[in-house]
Structure 1
Amino acid sequence: MDETGRPPLRVVIADDQASVREGLVLMLGLLADIEVVGSAADGQQALAQVRQHRPDAVLLDLHMPVLDGTETTRRLAEEFPDVTVVILTTYADDASVIDTLQAGARAYITKDADRLDIARTLHSAASGLTVLDPRVQAALLTRAAAAPQPDRPRELPDGLTEREAEILTLVAQGMTNAEIARTLFLSGNTVKTHINRIFTKTGSRDRVAAIRYAQRHSLDGPV
């Protein structure tokens, strides 16, 4: 138990560099609110450790042999959706950010973070928050600013907001709520709330009706 009386967060650490991995195990193991239950040298070992220990979170290096961080994250999200994935890496380039977040990672921090920052990120991510290193946020903002604006009607029908129209388009493309959340970096609850509002505004009883609405109003194309 930590000082608040809560059980410690159970974590598996995966990094192919032994010195980094062992340092993280030792460093985080000294914290009362973290319990390191396993460590791995590659993505395949990380999956095995998660199957064995069923941790709350995985602290995962991005560039590893056998299975890299992105593919490991994707498999963890499919097999263990309740396990939070936090990427810890040297790289803060936007391509890696997009790939790992879309694969299901909840947080992305760089290796110069101290142990308290890492611990706070693990706890915040496990509670449902998305946490990004400031440099990662800057990379995402740069990418967003450079992206072409989507083709949308000047006035969206029935009072739909731009975000609701964006989510409706993804619904029309067959995405699940979880896939929409990963694509737009939103929580599952936020996506559900938006979809409920979309149903109300469009008079749709279910997703099938919403998809038909999207098709009638040309909101089923690329986002």
Structure 2
Amino acid sequence: MILFPAIDLKDGSCVRLLKGEMDKATVFNTSPADQARLFKDAGCEWLHVVDLNGAFAGKPVNAEAVEQILAVMGPDVPVQLGGGIRDRATIDLWLEKGIRRVILGTVALRHPELVIDACKAHPGRIAVGIDARDGMVAVEGWAETSEMTAVDLALKFEDAGVAAIIYTDIDRDGALQGPNVEATAALAARLTTPVIASGGVASIDDLKVLKARQDTGIVGVISGRALYDGRIDLAEALAVLKG
């Protein structure tokens, strides 16, 4: 199972939100590139980056910070990026710049055909981010909750060639209350597409519980706040998930 350390970008800094609220942001590093270097030096195999401002604006906002992260990571550590990527031109641009995998969220609900076309053009390089509140998909930087369930949205892309579904339980995100393992495992079990768990990871025990459900199709886990505040030791986490 792969650990994806998270760098969430707001106003050029590395932050974590509480349950997706932009006004509840804690700044952990004013240099996202330095933070990326720390993760790389620790032996991380992937990096998860979100342009939070972009998610609300509907277009990339923290592009400079993303490019600095890419320069640090180089070709050795792949980066997946989400937030404000809502048209084909932006998808193509980021993939050309060196992003290994683009995450499509709001547009997956609004314009699923774009996801399908992007998967055909860029095999293995498109992920779908499904963020749910009480099981219902939330979009526009989590500001709006739709009337579609997370499972129904994921099933739309079963045959599209999506590299992964990144499933976030919004009410757990940044709250350090543990991931919603049952909902994540239930989603993964319904799909052939690999699932990456996100939201609420607070301890090594949380990682062990997720790894124990790997057979459902959970292939990775994203962690942010718990890594930043020391609740999870990065070296130990990497060892547990590889073990």
Per the TM superposition, whether the score is higher than 0.5 is: no
TM-score normalised by structure 2 residue count: 0.35
Higher helix share: 1
Structure whose alpha-carbon radius of gyration is higher: 1
Higher strand share: 2
